[in-house]
Amino acid sequence: MDKLVIRGGNPLLGTVRISGAKNAALPCMAAALLTDEPVILENIPQVRDIETTRKLLAAMGAEVELGYGRAQHRTTISARLLAAPEASYDLVKTMRASTLVLGPLVARCGRARVSLPGGCAIGARPIDLHIKGLELLGAIITQEHGYVEATTDPQKGNRLHGAEIVFDKITVTGTEDLLMAATLAVGETVMTNCAREPEVGDLAMLLNAMGAHIEGAGTSTIRVQGVEKLHGARHRIIPDRIEAGTFIIAAALTGGDVNVTCCDPTHLTAVIQKLHETGVKTVIKSDCVRVMGDQALKAADMNTEEYPGFPTDMQAQYMALATQAEGTSMISENIFENRFMHAQELVRMGANIKVEGRRATVRGGTPLSSAAVLASDLRASASLVLAALVADGETIIDRVYHLDRGYENIEEKLKSLGAEIRRVGNIFPKRAAAPSRA
């Protein structure tokens, strides 16, 4: 099992290039199931979740080419023949976003069998809203043996039909799953209380390029006019706003001066505004944020909210910064019920954090010392990397496979900025550029 070894104390200096957004690439790869023509996606990040999605689509019978480096981080997916519209438990348990294939499969094939994802480290994370929306679109749903089975209704021509859908809660992949299903439904679908994350907008851009008729993506009300068929398309995935936010905090925390390039600052307004509150200085250009961490950090309270609020996926990283800011920061996690696992690991490094339910009180200005720590989920591991960058001594972070799920080459990127970081153990197997079928 891989470990990262980080010696803290170096300010990060230089330029880092942000990769494509994992959470946009995953739904866009699932969208390729909606057509029998090739879909080409560019700016795909080389992370474990993309590899898992490749296996998932290939297991259904899709042809998935995935290449990095010379191939410009590109995948070509041809879902001509889908012999097995299924997502098995052994894949879904490693990546709950596999449930994104549910809507496309039932819309395209008239049936789908997808493992229920089960809980994960950060919360129960049910998919009841995905299921409720599909039933409103006319799918017949049964749940048994840990699987969801969805079929279209032969009484209704084996097609989904348009509906009015109001989400009881704002759900990102729920919005994406049903958006994809609605593109092939008969008639109009109006979805309200939708997620407004940029990744939803990116998916809608791909779907419209494939011939869908979607209006309002990125707002809380989305209208879809269903069509008979979708065709292939080429699409470039948006930059990863969470990776960009993570590097912005890394620069601020280490007192560095870093150009975070190939990002979209308009996706980071809440994060940048909060960091300004803590005293971080930035210069913002169209695709770059220059971060100057030469000011002492001041405490600032933070609440996670759905987009455009402060993203829950940046909460753990912000907590690492709060441990070094002068004063006390109150952090409220309003999206997930158990997303403070990183707090205890930060306390082992010397942080002063008290967790009560969904609120954490961080008394800042506490020097951190190196320790052997354990990553528990994707963003918690990012938080431990940030803390290790300013801790005294050499920190060892175990189970960094969590990190590899969503950060491309993080140690190379940090090393290029002057961090003392190395990976020990089996190197994450890099896939050959040649196309392959599972």
331 vs 378 by CB, closer to ligand EPZ: 378
Nearer to ligand EPZ by C-beta: 14 or 123?
123
Do residues 388 and 25 touch, judged by C-beta distance below 8 A? no
Residue 386 Cβ vs ligand EPZ, minimum distance, rounded to whole Å: 15
Q: Report the C-alpha gap between 185 and 224 in whole angstroms.
A: 9
Please tell me the distance from the alpha carbon of residue 126 to that of residue 120, in angstroms, as a whole number. 10
- Among residues 128 and 326, whose Cβ is nearest to ligand EPZ? 128
Cα dihedral 231, 236, 241, 242 sign: positive
CB closer to ligand EPZ out of 338 and 416: 338
289: its two tokens: 């944020």
Question: Left (φ > 0), alpha (ψ -120 to 50) or beta: where does 218 sit?
Answer: left
Q: Give bridge partners of residue 77 from the DSSP assignment.
A: 39, 64
Active site (annotated) includes residue 109: no
Mode of pairing for the β-strands spanning 288-292 and 420-424: unpaired
If the CB atoms of residues 388 and 403 are measured against ligand EPZ, the closer one turns out to be 403
Q: Which residues bind ligand EPZ (CB under 6 A)?
A: 23, 26, 97, 123, 125-130, 169, 171-174, 195, 312-313, 335-336, 378-379, 406
Closest distance to ligand EPZ from the beta carbon of 83 (Å): 26
Please, what is the minimum distance in Å from the beta carbon of residue 346 to ligand EPZ? 18
Hey, what are 416's tokens? Answer: 């290029």
Give the span between the Cα atoms of 211 and 227, in whole angstroms.
8
The least CB distance from residue 97 to ligand EPZ, in Å, is: 4
Place of tokens 């528990």: 376
**Least distance to ligand EPZ, CB of residue 139, Å:** 15
Q: How far is the CB of 49 from ligand EPZ (least distance, A)?
A: 8
Q: Count the Cβ atoms, other than its own, within 10 Å of residue 175.
A: 29
Q: Among residues 120, 194, 263, 288, which one is catalytic?
A: 120
CA atoms within 13 A on the CB side of 131: 16
Residue among 44, 36, 95 at smallest CA distance from 65: 44
What separation, in Å, do the N-terminal and C-terminal C-alpha atoms of the chain show?
A: 24
Q: What angle do CA 231, 236, 240 make, to 5 degrees?
A: 135
Closest to ligand EPZ by CB, 10 vs 98, is: 98
Catalytic machinery residues: 120
